Chains A and B, each alone.
Chain A
Amino acid sequence: MNIDPGWGSFADSKGPWGTGGSGSGDNEPSEGPWKDGSKGSKGSSPPQQGGLSSFEEFLRRNRARWSPGGQFPGRPDGSFLLWSIVAVLCLWMLFTSTHSIAPEQRGVVTRFGRYVYTLSPGVGMTLPSPIERVKKIDVESIRTSDLGSGSEEDLMLTGDQNLINIAYSVRWNIRDPQLYLFELKDPDGTLNQVAESAMRSVISQVSLSDAMGDKRIEIEDKAAQITQQILDRYHSGIQVQGVAIKQADPPAAVTDAFKDVQAAQQDAQKYVNRANASAFQTIAKAQGEAAAFDKVYAQYKLAPEVTRRRMYYDTMEQVLSKVPKTIVEAPGVVPYLPVTSGEAAPQPQSQQGQGQ
């Protein structure tokens, strides 16, 4: 990456070439002049050259400004700026070779693109930037991917061929940062796809009521497990922490029918409650009446005839005192009776006679 700026700045340079080359010998053990670079050992690296080129360019520019005589750069009076450049270079090396890795991070180190090792939290040392690069990856923090229905319905088919509108989220973190970086082209997108596939395959094996109801936890566990299995097969370096179903509803088009089921359940409960109340009432009434009868009967037993007559007269008294009465003296004569109140015709009462 930083080859290009070095190269570009070199092209812009205007200073004399040779002096810069000799100056580089002071601080870098490289082959120096470019002619050797092309045929030099394979170990010599373009980025190193790139670093040198920018340095030399800087040097040359300053040389042209301050000491056009072309003195040797190593001489202290030759260039004060040269030493400051060396200092800057040293600082650059220092800063790009020490890396502080936060506790939740790991540093994946690549040397010319090849993975070498992973830095643990703390301060880590590497070769300076163009040679070794460090990519810091947060491995501890749990990320959440929300899937399923957000603004619009996301319908899944259940095992009993019903549809369910489901929203869920996957919590995950990075287990192996180097796998995460190098194995999958799009690890985050892969995770989403895998999780959706896993959730759908789990949902397709359970019934609608299970998915909406008490089997949610099992479904979550199973989806997480399947997701993890698939991701491991990809060597994704992702650890699934869990799947959470946020919402599992019937589709909006049939919500009313589902609500009716709830209402029916409440209705059924209502019927039973009412029946229970009424049953209690019936039994209580029976018990009360039976108890009353028993009490009276106990007294009746003591003096049957008297009690019976007393009860008869009591009752008759109450009855006859409240109603209009006609007493017909002559037997066999049916009198024409006045209609007393104009409402109900009096009825002949004959059952009175049945009482003994």
Chain B
Amino acid sequence: MEAVRRHPWIVAIAGAIVLWLVFLAFPIVPETRQAVVVRFGKPERILNEYKPGRQIGAVGAGISWRIPFVDQIVWIDKRILDVDMQTQNVLSTDKRWLQVDAYARYRIVNPLLMYVRATTEDNLQAQLKTILGSDVRNELGKQPFAALLSPERQGVMDDIRNELNDDASKYGVEIVDVRIKRTDLPDGAPLQSAYESMSTAREQEARSIRAEGMKKAQIVQAQADADAAKIYAESYGKDPQFYDFYRAMQSYKVTFVGGADGKAPAPTAIILSPKDDYLKQFTGEAR
């Protein structure tokens, strides 16, 4: 006690150092991270290592220990991470370009291996990105253009996943899945020609729709004409001779006087012979 009172500064600093050592000695491992304890560069232990099927909160995370200064802790993410491939142009087997955007989700399942082979997460990310890019290019290059747009796409993704997983397992990484996010036509000529083919397809559609409409209209009209002919035939057929007379009378009226639409006919002068039927009473002759 006396010593403490005499040298408060020394005691305070000593206490601070002790406290600091305590913090160093008992690191807290959160659920989201795993850690490799490295003693003089040699990996000693793994904290909170990922085990498939293990529930969150089961074991692993929590408070741990190490020997200060001797053991270094390398933190490694335990969660599912993602690596995004840069957009790439891929040439399909039928020599068509396609712009592909893919991503992979992965988890570091063997932090020790990952630490040994890649050291840091950023480094790992960069390497995976390169591998993913080449795998995507290789695998899609084996596919025809149509396959990349069709349901077979899932199979393609599985192939890429397996291939990538083979490479990634060397880094202690498990690929959860690979998905092709977008497959687009590259800008410029392919896109323009797609637009053109869309336009022309629409044009064709529009024309055929119009033609179809005309066809329908003609059929309707023809049917109506046929029906009308039938009606006429039924009615006039009763006495063709009288029809001839009746129709002639109507026709004269329209021709010389004007039709129901009130249009005046062309001017006409008529020369009648006295022998005309119409004038037979005029001349006083009997028939």
Q: Are B278 and A320 in contact (CB under 8 A)?
A: yes
A77 at the interface (CB under 8 A from B): no
B259 at the interface (CB under 8 A from A): no
State whether A300 and B242 are in contact (beta carbons under 8 Å apart), knowing that A184-B80, A261-B202 are contacts in the complex: yes
Q: Are B257 and A353 in contact (CB under 8 A)?
A: no
Q: Are B8 and A283 in contact (CB under 8 A)?
A: no
Q: How far is the CA of A76 from the CA of B221 in the complex (A)?
A: 114
Q: How far is the CA of A280 from the CA of B224 in the complex (A)?
A: 7
State whether A18 and B220 are in contact (beta carbons under 8 Å apart), knowing that A53-B19, A159-B149, A319-B257 are contacts in the complex: no
Name the residue on A nearest B228 (C-beta): A286
B103 at the interface (CB under 8 A from A): yes
State whether A16 and B153 are in contact (beta carbons under 8 Å apart), knowing that A10-B16, A269-B213 are contacts in the complex: no
Q: Are B239 and A182 in contact (CB under 8 A)?
A: no
Q: Are B30 and A293 in contact (CB under 8 A)?
A: no
Q: How far is the CA of A261 from the CA of B236 in the complex (A)?
A: 47
Contact partner of A283 (CB less than 8 A), chosen from B4, B14, B231, is B231
Interface size range of chain B in the complex: 35 or more
B79 at the interface (CB under 8 A from A): yes
B266 at the interface (CB under 8 A from A): yes
Q: Are B252 and A319 in contact (CB under 8 A)?
A: yes
Q: Are A325 and B176 in contact (CB under 8 A)?
A: no
Set of chain A residues within 8 Å of B213, measured between Cβ atoms? 264, 267-272
B286 at the interface (CB under 8 A from A): no
State whether A356 and B274 are in contact (beta carbons under 8 Å apart), knowing that A185-B79, A312-B249 are contacts in the complex: no
Contact partner of A18 (CB less than 8 A), chosen from B4, B23, B154, is B4
- Contact segment of A85-93, A119-127, A138-146, A251-259: A251-259
Contact partner of A268 (CB less than 8 A), chosen from B146, B209, B267, is B209
- Contact segment of B57-65, B134-142, B162-170: B57-65
State whether A113 and B28 are in contact (beta carbons under 8 Å apart), knowing that A184-B79, A193-B103, A282-B228 are contacts in the complex: yes
B126 at the interface (CB under 8 A from A): no
- Contact segment of A96-104, A241-249, A326-334: A326-334
Q: How far is the CA of A333 from the CA of B3 in the complex (A)?
A: 168
State whether A257 and B203 are in contact (beta carbons under 8 Å apart), knowing that A178-B56, A185-B81, A204-B150 are contacts in the complex: yes
Quote the shortest CB–CB distance from B264 to chain A (angstroms).
Answer: 9
Quote the shortest CB–CB distance from A199 to chain B (angstroms).
Answer: 10
State whether A278 and B273 are in contact (beta carbons under 8 Å apart), knowing that A116-B57, A344-B266 are contacts in the complex: no
Q: Mark B258-285, 1 if CB is under 8 A from A, else 0.
A: 0000000011111111111111000000
Q: Are A326 and B26 in contact (CB under 8 A)?
A: no
Quote the shortest CB–CB distance from B19 to chain A (angstroms).
Answer: 6
A225 at the interface (CB under 8 A from B): no
Set of chain A residues within 8 Å of B242, measured between Cβ atoms? 297, 300, 304, 308
Q: How far is the CA of A265 from the CA of B235 in the complex (A)?
A: 40
A26 at the interface (CB under 8 A from B): no
Set of chain B residues within 8 Å of A13, measured between Cβ atoms? 12
Name the residue on A nearest B196 (C-beta): A254
A111 at the interface (CB under 8 A from B): yes
On chain A, the number of residues with a Cβ less than 8 Å from chain B's Cβ atoms is: 130
Set of chain A residues within 8 Å of B1, measured between Cβ atoms? 18
Tell me the B218-234 residues at the A interface (CB within 8 Å).
Answer: 218-221, 223-225, 227-229, 231-232, 234
Set of chain A residues within 8 Å of B246, measured between Cβ atoms? 293, 296-297, 311
- Contact segment of A37-45, A167-175, A213-221: A37-45
Q: Are B277 and A204 in contact (CB under 8 A)?
A: no
Name the residue on A nearest B5 (C-beta): A16
Contact partner of B25 (CB less than 8 A), chosen from A15, A38, A291, A320, is A38
Q: Are B274 and A328 in contact (CB under 8 A)?
A: yes
Q: Are A283 and B224 in contact (CB under 8 A)?
A: yes
Quote the shortest CB–CB distance from B195 to chain A (angstroms).
Answer: 5
Most buried by B among A117, A182, A251: A182
Q: How far is the CA of A204 from the CA of B181 in the complex (A)?
A: 12
Q: Are B257 and A318 in contact (CB under 8 A)?
A: yes
State whether A293 and B5 are in contact (beta carbons under 8 Å apart), knowing that A278-B224, A331-B275 are contacts in the complex: no
Tell me the B182-212 residues at the A interface (CB within 8 Å).
Answer: 182-185, 191, 194-195, 197-203, 205-207, 209-210, 212
Set of chain B residues within 8 Å of A270, measured between Cβ atoms? 213
A94 at the interface (CB under 8 A from B): no
A75 at the interface (CB under 8 A from B): no
Quote the shortest CB–CB distance from A178 to chain B (angstroms).
Answer: 5
Q: List 25 A-B contacts (CB under 8 A).
A: A10-B12, A10-B16, A17-B12, A42-B65, A46-B22, A53-B19, A115-B31, A178-B57, A197-B179, A230-B179, A251-B195, A254-B199, A276-B220, A290-B231, A290-B236, A297-B238, A312-B245, A318-B256, A318-B257, A322-B257, A325-B272, A326-B270, A328-B272, A347-B271, A355-B248
7 further A-B pairs in the complex, CB-CB below 8 A; given A186-B82, A293-B236: A10-B15, A46-B23, A113-B28, A156-B184, A261-B209, A264-B213, A286-B232
Residues of A within 8 A of B (CB): 3, 7, 10-11, 13-18, 34-35, 37-38, 42, 45-46, 49, 53, 70, 110-117, 155-159, 161-163, 178-179, 181-186, 189-190, 193-194, 196-197, 200-201, 204-205, 208, 230, 233-235, 250-251, 253-254, 256-258, 260-261, 263-265, 267-272, 274-276, 278-280, 282-283, 285-287, 289-291, 293-294, 296-297, 300, 304, 308, 311-316, 318-320, 322-329, 331, 337, 340-341, 343-349, 352-353, 355-356
